[in-house]
Amino acid sequence: MAQWNSYQDIRRRVLFEYRGRFGVYNANYPEEHRSGHYPCLLLLRGRTVGTIRIDVSGHAATFRGVAIDSKCQGQGHGCVLLAMAEAFSISKGCTEVFSHVAPDAVGFYEKCGFRGAGNDRWIAGESVRMKKPLGMAVLGIASTYRISGRARSQPTYYS
């Protein structure tokens, strides 16, 4: 239960409150518990540093709610989280991944190999839809991180 609370707290703070959106985060959003949706935590030495939900449908995955705790940003954890999420997606048979990215995070995603989806990139509301092909397993992830987990009631744990 503590890990699930960490998952919700980081998402609420980083994706909503730090962007000036107070009182709108829904910790009971039904999409978190759908089949094929994998809420995940990134743990470093037992400490939660980030979150992501990986939605798998056919041969495509969508990364949602990607957030690194503000105290841990700028230290490479976001790159590790995406790389581990890509490896997880490959293990589920995915050949491409999408993400709806905040405009201020587009440069980070481009550095991680994402490109605009469709005709270059497009902005819908508050996000930019981006895409990355998944061609091979991700190598070189630091051994201080771990991935494991459950869907629906508890997040997957990357540590």
CATH number (domain holding residue 22): 3.40.630.30
Domain tally for the chain? 1
Burial (CB < 10 A; 0-12, 13-18, 19+), residue 130, is buried
Query: What are 3-57's pLDDT values in tens digits?
Result: 878 888 888 888 887 777 787 777 777 777 789 999 998 988 888 899 999 999 9
For strands 47-57 and 60-68, give the pairing.
antiparallel
For residue 115, pLDDT beyond 80: yes
Q: Range of 84's domain?
A: 2-158
**How many CA atoms lie less than 13 Å away from 155 in the CB half-sphere?**
29
C-alpha–C-alpha distance, residues 61 and 42, integer Å: 18
Please choose, from the candidates 80, 97, 64, 52, the residue with its C-alpha nearest in 3D space to the C-alpha of residue 143.
80
For residue 88, pLDDT beyond 50: yes
